[in-house]
Amino acid sequence: MAGDIILRVEDLEKRFGGIVALDKVNLEIERGKVTLLIGPNGSGKTTLVNVISGFYKPDGGRVLFKGRDITGMSPHEISKLGLVRTFQIPKPFTNLTVLENVLTAADSPGENVYLAGLARRLWLGFEKRAAARAFEILGWVGLDHMWDRRSGELSGGQMKLLEIARAIMKGAEMIIMDEPAAGVNPRLAGSIMERIKYLAREKGITFLIIEHRIGLVKEYVDRVYAMSMGKVIASGKPDEVLNNPVVLESYLGG
Ligand SMILES: Nc1ncnc2c1ncn2[C@@H]1O[C@H](COP(=O)(O)OP(=O)(O)OP(=O)(O)O)[C@@H](O)[C@H]1O
């Protein structure tokens, strides 16, 4: 595959007792692209992203991020390298503003005292650079006009965008998202996906998403990987993969 490969998975294996959840999985994710991972229930999608992000240790194979072997590293170490799963970031504090919630996602040296002193330090201008960066990122996700609103006032869709903004503030170069379109109406799902596509194209952020509502997201993704029974059964452009008879059959079989 052409382009800069940010994530490479080689012959990844994971078993749970007698269940082979990952059976020599290989994949390549290109930087600045949106990749969709699909497959029927139990096909191994969640296990795959759990192994990639360090939540499970594999029984075989390797995960390379930016050319570096990250196999077996902790989720925290992996996220510090720039590979972030949105659910790793604590839920936004509903009583803090949108801007404050982006600021608290940053891995600052004084992480724990940061929250307590946040308002005062902001007021004193000590975190000017962080605030400028947070503002910039809010612009990228289209929430800058909401910066001083309490996060509890955001809609479900805006909350997803805030999650993405916080991941980027944390230093994410690649973001893994479970079901970005879940729980929001189709029109809103489209606008979230539009934003994800923009962040990939214009800002070079790489996305790997798992989404069951394939019809809602397929037009926004660059590449699809389809899994079935622990294996990758097809990969390529969305239309190719989604019309592949083997992929269609894997859903019927489930
Ligand atoms: N912690 C676990 N312990 C035991 N078995 C597990 C565990 N996690 C996953 N499995 C099994 O591994 C297989 C793959 O499951 P996985 O959750 O990765 O599939 P999935 O494609 O994410 O499914 P879904 O779309 O339903 O979330 C299934 O047979 C599942 O029962």
For the residues 156-167, what does the mean pLDDT come to? 92
Q: Tell me which residue has its CA closest to atom 11 in ligand 1.
A: 21
**What lines the ligand 1 site, CB under 6 Å?**
16, 19, 21, 39, 41-47
Q: Tell me which residue has its CA closest to atom 24 in ligand 1.
A: 41
Q: Which two tokens stand for residue 127?
A: 């975190």
Calculate how far, in angstroms, residue 41's C-alpha sits from the geometric centre of ligand 1. 8
Q: Tell me which residue has its CA closest to atom 26 in ligand 1.
A: 41
Q: Could you report the per-residue pLDDT of 57-100, keeping only the tens digit for each? A: 999 999 999 999 999 999 999 999 999 998 766 678 888 999 99
pLDDT for position 93: 84
Question: In this model, does residue 114 exceed pLDDT 70?
Answer: no
Q: Which two tokens stand for residue 25?
A: 């999985």
ipTM of the prediction: 0.96
Calculate how far, in angstroms, residue 145's C-alpha sits from the geometric centre of ligand 1. 40
Question: In this model, does residue 1 exceed pLDDT 70?
Answer: no
Report whether 82 contacts 70 (CB < 8 A): no
Calculate how far, in angstroms, residue 248's C-alpha sits from the geometric centre of ligand 1. 20
As a CATH number, domain 5-253 is 3.40.50.300
The rounded distance, in Å, linking the Cα atoms of 195 and 242 is: 23
| Domain regions of the chain by residue span | 5-253
Q: Could you report the per-residue pLDDT of 167-182, keeping only the tens digit for each? A: 999 999 999 998 888 8
Look at the block and give the residue holding tokens 């079989």. Answer: 253
Q: Which two tokens stand for residue 41?
A: 């229930």
Query: Rounded to a whole number, what is the distance in angstroms from the first to the last CA of the chain?
Result: 30
The rounded distance, in Å, linking the Cα atoms of 166 and 154 is: 15
